[in-house]
Amino acid sequence: MSRQLTIVMAQMNPIVGDLRGNADRIIDLARQAIADFQADVVVFPEMCLTGYPPEDVLLRPGLYPQVQAALDSLCAAHLPVALVVGYPMMDSLDERFNMAAWIENGQMKAAYMKQFLPNYGPFDEKRYFSPGDQACVVDYKGVRFGLLICEDIWKPTAVARTVEAGAEVLLNMNASPFHAEKHEDRLQVVRRRVAEFARPVIYVNQVGGQDELVFDGSSFAMDAEGEVLVQAPAFESGLTPVRMLRQGGNVALLPGAHAPVPHDEERLYGALVTGVRDFIDKNGITAGIVLGLSGGIDSALTLAVAVDALGPARCEAVMMPYHYTAQASIEDARLQAERLGVAFSTLPIEAGFKGMTQLLTPRLASVEGVTAENLQARLRGVALMAIANATGKLVLATSNKSEIAVGYATLYGDMIGGFAPLKDVLKTQVYALARWRNRETEVIPQRVIERPPSAELRPDQVDQDSLPDYAVLDRIIQGYVVEQKTPAQLVEAGLDPAAVRQAIRLINAHEYKRRQAPPGVRVTPRSFGRDRRYPITSRYEEPV
């Protein structure tokens, strides 16, 4: 005798702290899963009731009555389907746990405590939670489902306990943040567990942006042989069914929908768009964004991302020329704004510069050199913030990771803003993304991509006057910051010792700037801020 069940993977985009809204989203998605797929079980992401990560909201005692009220509302809905839902719980001893609930027939039939708590990179779960140590297996419609939460699948111990308790199918709920190689890492880990325990895994991941983190979804179902039979889309909310067949003593997954997995620039660009869209929308910034469009590559890519995230009507670009601004920059900025259909204005800063020079004359004999260069950048920042104040828009900063790493950005100038889409994107990647975005329609003028990068703050200035070539600099940043290599290892890899020495000196000297930089989309395993936490005051050195 055979029987088929349908497990629906619900890629949900929760809002942190919106417990009532998140509960309503869960109910709506469950009803849709019933209507569209005749679902038997709907599996949601980790901590979907609160959103993830809620950070120190978890330390507020008032959170937990709201969590209980949200769970009660899910039970009160009496949906004709089993729900697997993530939430936090605080017990009578004030210990907190990262939980999964199995809700069936209007009741919580089972609850599971996450066993392994990640405490690296962007994760701080040991700050908030105590670990569980018990398996949770639910017998439903003749199939024994084992519950696991995120990091549990990365450790064989939790899986072993669950299989020993009789699990035939593993349901793994996740809030797994994106970085460029993360999907391949997940597949590799889950295949390892499948090879060890010969159990199919249904892996359900959160989708959407939460401050600096982006969750790509990319949920999947893997059979007991390690083959991905169902693949959900990346960066899209929605439902993906997994059909399961019970035949005698065997449970088998059936092939289903297989969304394409984006790679390289497509994947990175999708993360940036998702991060910008959700930061703006979840924070209720209905007016949209404004940015300084300089005619350079960074602001050009930032504007393209913003338009793809929010639409042209919610984006504004402002060109703020001075004596050193090339005519080509003015022309290219206007051309890109026209191509993208965004509001565009030109605000020359000469009058402001003269006014500030007069203001400073009693104190400074002259305003020149770096002082004059930074004053130009800061005047532009002041203008953008004034527009933001008057319109309710958010200023997007346009600096990239290479510049932020070595301090090649002006504090309170081009670093100003509420969000920095390119904060974790190296300069060489900026060029690659611009070319990728132009692959079908040239929205970024080709001259912007081809011209040598310049801050245009003094005559004939180019970035490489002050920095190593970006192809070299980015290798140093990738090795030293992301991969944690020593300077000696970078030199052994063929990099110029003088360039390594210069770059590392600049990286170490500019932590104070990075502490004051706006948040931005995290797209690497080691971003500035959440992942790399270095002291501002430090004399630690490593020899080159």
Reported as a single tens digit per residue, the pLDDT across 467-478 is 888 999 999 999
What pLDDT was estimated at residue 369?
Answer: 87
* Residue 427 bears catalytic tag: no
Q: Extract the tokens encoding 231.
A: 């693949």
Sheet holding 220-222, edge to edge: 137-140, 143-149, 169-174, 201-205, 220-222, 228-231
For residue range 29-64, list pLDDT tens digits in order: 999 999 999 999 999 999 999 999 999 999 999 999
> What are 389's two structure tokens?
């104040």
pTM: 0.93
Q: Distances in Å between the alpha carbon of 70 and those of 52, 65, 75, 193, 302?
A: 16, 9, 9, 33, 38
Identify the active-site residue in 104, 125, 136, 150: 150
Cα separation, 526 vs 180, whole angstroms = 11
Q: Does the annotation mark 46 as catalytic? A: yes
**Nearest CA among 174, 67, 169, 73 for reference residue 114:** 174
Host H or E run for residue 507: helix 497-509
Q: Using the CB atoms, write b or e for 525-542: b if 16+ within 10 Å.
A: bbbbbbbbeeeeeeeeee
DSSP assignment string, 134-170: ---EEEETTEEEEEEEGGGGGSHHHHHHHHHTT-SEE
Count of CB atoms within 10 A of residue 516's CB? 10
> Kind of pairing, strands 289-292 and 315-319?
parallel
In the chain, what are the helix, strand and coil shares in percent, each to the nearest 5? 40, 20, 40
- The catalytically annotated residue of 46, 151, 168, 403 is 46
The whole-angstrom separation of Cα 121 and Cα 119 is: 7
The tens digit of pLDDT for each residue in 400-437 reads: 999 999 999 999 998 999 999 999 999 999 999 999 99
- Given pLDDT bands bounded at 50, 70 and 90, which one contains residue 535? confident
Tell me whether residue 403 is one of the annotated catalytic residues. no
- pLDDT confidence of residue 248: 75
Whether 375 and 411 have beta carbons less than 8 Å apart is answered as no
Q: Tell me the average pLDDT of the chain.
A: 93
Pick the catalytic residue: 114, 282, 423, 513?
114
Range of lowest pLDDT (103-117, 336-350, 446-460): 446-460
Residue ranges and CATH numbers for the domains of the chain are: 2-261 (3.60.110.10), 265-463 (3.40.50.620)
Percentage above 70 pLDDT, the chain: 97
